[in-house]
Structure 1
Amino acid sequence: MILECIVENEKDAIQAEKLGINRLELVSAMSEGGLTPSYGTVKRVMECVNIPVQVMLRPHSYSFEYDDFDWMAMKADLQAFSDLGVKGIVFGCLKNGEIDQALLEKVIKEVPHFDITFHRAFDELQDQVNGLAVLSQYPQHIRRILTSGGEETVYEGRERLKQLITLAEESTGPQILVGSGLNTANIEELHAFLQAKEYHFGSGVRKERSFANGFDAEKIEFLLELFNQS
């Protein structure tokens, strides 16, 4: 069982590691849904923690479609990430409601050694089952898919998530990383139904549910105990 949590800076990352969180998603601008963090932030986080860090690669929040100008910016970011010792990114790209495989393959070619989480762009696909099949073509690169089953929250998307988890296991495809709207009040019911292996938490584990505040240590302790029992 993997507990992944969102962090925005070095302070968050240090606290997360001390609390026993398994993996981090490093982003900026959570008010925009999470964008590429600054060079300085990535550098400081990579220097201060030992747990895995997946760095967001998302140049803007307008959509998940990117043009050649966006690609050149992302390419420069990927080189910087590699230089800083980053080993994983969170990335997603669409074109006309489907996965933009041409751009995805550019990213993979640029950083073939990176561990990639395909993020919630997946929830805007016209056909998620087909999307899973497409991403399963890159087993050495796409390690997991962050999704809420195409709905606003995991609870609303739980039936589709169950289907995706089953399909991913049968096809040895990417892990389904369950996220959006998770909290300590609903995780037991959802985990009993989904039996996923990885869960992604944001504001649900923060004091007063705000990214301006630190992690709620009691909530993290509760989750780790729950996961250890599973």
Structure 2
Amino acid sequence: MKDIKIEVCAGSYEDCLAAARGKADRVELNSALALGGLSPTEATLRLVKRDTDLKVICMVRPRGAGFHYTEVERKVMMAEAKSFLENGADGIAFGFLNADGTIDVEATKEMIDLIHSYNKEAVFHRAVDVTPDFEEAFRILVELKADRVLTSGQEEKAMQGKEQIKKMQELFGDQIEILAGSGMNATNAMEMIQETGIHQIHSSCKGYDNDPTTSGEKVTYSYLAGEHANDYDVVKEELVARLMAAIGR
């Protein structure tokens, strides 16, 4: 079996420090994880590269809804990607779809070509999970020479989609890396690896910290509900370490 790689979904510099202390291999660096992950700041990227040995894949995403972008949004995404690549990013995570959900070949090729011009990794993210033809989407990404795909197998959680992930690994695993994400943790990582043949796991390793200033008597800024109403989600070092131990590292 190939070496297993663990990628942590990070929403901040502090998240990346926790991932590094837990011995993760790589982070996908975002902002605004509550919106599904948006582009991080250049300053955060520079700090992470200065203070850790992590490989950093920067998310490029301008808004928290959908993946069919305007020309203006696409222009911004390309500029952000270029800036990240010039400031130490080891790759870019992105996803371009047409209005019908199929892969936007032109925009995807443009982004991949830009990333590869810096000899960095082009990662198509979970936009692939809302495409109408999963196999065809993979075929296109292979043809465009994407390096990796993050997927839950078109299900809410990756363990629910493991049969699809296994099928894509069998069809395309020798041509593109497959990274399983959504609901992955120390309790299920090895099952996913053993049953699908993939060797990369993406996990949030998520816990919560509390900030009592989130809510006042009449005003609240909470984006979580119930018992976590005054909390915010963070990467927990112990969960990263537990995941690394679960894969024997």
**Which position in structure 2 is the counterpart of 1:220?**
240
Alpha-carbon contact 1:206-1:216 (below 8 Å) kept: no
**Which position in structure 1 is the counterpart of 2:193?**
191
Is 1:206 matched up with 2:210? no
Q: CA deviation at 1:156?
A: 1.5
**Which position in structure 2 is the counterpart of 1:93?**
96
**Which position in structure 2 is the counterpart of 1:64?**
67
Is 1:34 matched up with 2:37? yes
Matches within 5 A, 1:173-184: 173-184=175-186
The verdict on how the C-alpha distance between 1:75 and 1:188 changes in structure 2, with shifts beyond 3 A counting, is closer
One-letter amino acid of the structure 2 residue matched with residue 178 of structure 1: A
Give identity over the alignment, percent.
Answer: 27
- Larger C-alpha radius of gyration, 1 or 2? 2
Q: CA deviation at 1:216?
A: 4.1
Q: CA deviation at 1:43?
A: 2.3
Q: CA deviation at 1:184?
A: 2.6
The verdict on how the C-alpha distance between 1:40 and 1:208 changes in structure 2, with shifts beyond 3 A counting, is closer
- State the aligned residue count: 222
Separation in 1, partners of 2:206, 2:64: 23
One-letter amino acid of the structure 2 residue matched with residue 175 of structure 1: E
Structure 1 segments unaligned to the other structure (5+ residues) = none
One-letter amino acid of the structure 1 residue matched with residue 180 of structure 2: V
Separation in 2, partners of 1:138, 1:227: 32
Per-residue CA deviations over 1:74-113 (Å, capped at 9, x if unaligned) read: 1221222122122301111111221101001221333323
**Which position in structure 1 is the counterpart of 2:166?**
162
The verdict on how the C-alpha distance between 1:216 and 1:86 changes in structure 2, with shifts beyond 3 A counting, is closer
Structure 2 segments unaligned to the other structure (5+ residues) = 210-230
Separation in 2, partners of 1:188, 1:105: 33
Per-residue CA deviations over 1:146-204 (Å, capped at 9, x if unaligned) read: 001011111211111110111123xx2211100111123333433332232000001xx
One-letter amino acid of the structure 2 residue matched with residue 134 of structure 1: I
Separation in 2, partners of 1:193, 1:58: 32
The verdict on how the C-alpha distance between 1:194 and 1:108 changes in structure 2, with shifts beyond 3 A counting, is closer
TM value normalised by structure 2: 0.82
One-letter amino acid of the structure 1 residue matched with residue 206 of structure 2: R
Aligned-pair RMSD on alpha carbons? 1.9
Alpha-carbon contact 1:9-1:45 (below 8 Å) kept: no
Is 1:23 matched up with 2:53? no
Alpha-carbon contact 2:185-2:243 (below 8 Å) kept: no
Alpha-carbon contact 2:11-2:37 (below 8 Å) kept: no
Alpha-carbon contact 1:2-1:197 (below 8 Å) kept: yes
The verdict on how the C-alpha distance between 1:188 and 1:29 changes in structure 2, with shifts beyond 3 A counting, is same
Alpha-carbon contact 1:53-1:87 (below 8 Å) kept: yes
Matches within 5 A, 1:67-78: 67-78=70-81
Q: Which stretches of structure 1, 4 residues or longer, exceed 6 Å deviation after superposition?
A: none
